[in-house]
Amino acid sequence: MIPFAGNPLNRASEKRTDSSWIESKRHDPSSLVLPMWRLAPLLLEQKLTAEQPELGLLRPDIVDSLASAGAPCIFLGLDGDVAVFALDVSDRADPSKDGPLAGLGHFVEARAAAQAVSMRDAAIIAQAKAMIDWHQRHGFCPRCGAPTKLVDAGYRRLCGECKAEHFPRTDPVVIMLATDGDACLVGRGKHFPRGMFSALAGFVEPGETIEEAVRRELMEEASIKVSEVTYYATQPWPFPSSLMIGCFAKAESRDAKADDIEIAEVRWIERSVARGLINGKRMDGIMVPPPIAIAHHLIKAWALSEK
Ligand SMILES: [Zn+2]
């Protein structure tokens, strides 16, 4: 399974427009609320020493006093019969230091938190983080500039002036591994840590298919022409709101060259080298991203395939 995928919650989207149901669940003692402070989820203190910390899903009455009026509260979905919400508590100093959360846990940056918790909790973090981030950045209507307000339990914002509706966005990004026989192409982004190489990636542009984006990005970043493009898997990537679309692409030659704009260096690596890299080894002075990134899984799937 790829991290951030596999969200265990039933999104129960039909309930979002039922404001009396949402309001009653929001204060129901059996419901759970994940406080998010400046996009960092709460992880529980007593679990921090355990092998795998747990998400700070708390009873509504514990977190209610932390949010200012109008702070985004998102209905994430149902876990069985239990309604689960995410609440933005960013408007004050770190709420884990005192008040009702004191001693319960810590707010941990979303990427680090996701690598510490279970896959199930990581997927909930992806949803909560992407949603709250979107609300924080869409307080004003892009059409007329007037304030917008949260409706439908967080899945829509409505402009009070021109009545335009705004929906949470997900930006598609292609991430692809060009291959030629027993070698695959990896690149080092200009801002990557020393020795880090990954699959090449880029945003899908308006009016473009996934396959076209894969071909264009490989040509732009590595001067590589590819023939067949095949889909591998997708990954929600809440930094801030991408959907990573993993693909393989058959290269027509190994004549690759980094663009020196986004990519500093490209390299073909042999399958035997790739097998070592995905086990966390540094080989030939290079390493690849850890399992939180879909790039890791693309390289792994190819490295472990027969041909
Ligand atoms: Zn407007």
Cα–Cα distances (Å) from 26 to 7, 81, 84, 114, in that order, read: 20, 13, 9, 25
pLDDT tens-digit readout, 186-224: 999 999 999 999 999 999 999 999 999 999 999 999 999
Q: How far from each other are the two terminal CA atoms of the chain, in whole angstroms?
A: 22
What is the C-alpha separation between 306 and 296, in angstroms, rounded? Answer: 18
Q: How many residues does the chain have?
A: 307
Judged by DSSP in three states, 139 sits in coil
**Does 307 have pLDDT greater than 70?**
no
Residue 69: pLDDT band (50, 70, 90) is confident
Supply 137's token pair: 């950045």
Report the 3 state secondary structure along 70-102. CCCEEEEEEECCEEEEEEECCCCCCCCCCHHHC
pLDDT at 50: 63
Cα–Cα distances (Å) from 232 to 150, 294, 301, in that order, read: 35, 10, 9
Ligand 1 centroid to Cα of residue 284, in Å, is: 55
Ligand 1 centroid to Cα of residue 278, in Å, is: 48
Residue 230: pLDDT band (50, 70, 90) is very high
Ligand 1 centroid to Cα of residue 162, in Å, is: 4
Residue given tokens 């402070």 in the structure block: 37
pLDDT tens-digit readout, 96-122: 999 999 999 999 999 999 999 999 999
Residue 189 carries which DSSP code?
E
Ligand 1 centroid to Cα of residue 235, in Å, is: 32
Residue 306: pLDDT band (50, 70, 90) is confident
What is the C-alpha separation between 204 and 216, in angstroms, rounded? Answer: 10
What is the C-alpha separation between 236 and 294, in angstroms, rounded? Answer: 10
Ligand 1 centroid to Cα of residue 238, in Å, is: 26
